[in-house]
């Protein structure tokens, strides 16, 4: 479970870095919106994944 979460966090971090450096350049407002969206989606995924893990394993 935790290895999957670490891999997903790494992929999302790389994706944010790639978009920030290659596509957006100096457009910081759009970079912040994309980064915030990815962080929120990741947190929701982690919460729902943790709840699912606790409910199914207990």
Report the chain (58 residues): mean pLDDT per 10 consecutive residues: 75 78 71 80 86 83
Residue 26: per-residue pLDDT:
67
Alpha-carbon gap, residue 22 to 27, rounded angstroms: 11
CA 57 to chain centre: 25
Residue 1: per-residue pLDDT:
62
Alpha-carbon gap, residue 51 to 57, rounded angstroms: 10
Residue 57: per-residue pLDDT:
79
Classify the phi-psi angles of 9: left when phi > 0, otherwise alpha if psi is within -120 to 50, otherwise beta.
alpha
Task: Name the residue range of residue 10's domain.
Answer: 2-57
What total number of domains does the chain contain?
Answer: 1
Residue 50: per-residue pLDDT:
85
pTM of the model: 0.53
In the structure encoding, which two tokens stand for residue 53, read together? 């893990």
């Amino acid at each position: 479970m935790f290895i999957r979460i670490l891999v997903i966090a790494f992929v999302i971090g790389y994706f944010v870095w790639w978009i920030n450096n290659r596509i957006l350049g100096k457009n910081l407002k759009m970079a912040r919106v994309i980064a915030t969206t990815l962080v929120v989606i990741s947190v929701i995924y982690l919460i729902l994944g943790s709840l699912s893990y606790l409910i199914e394993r207990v």
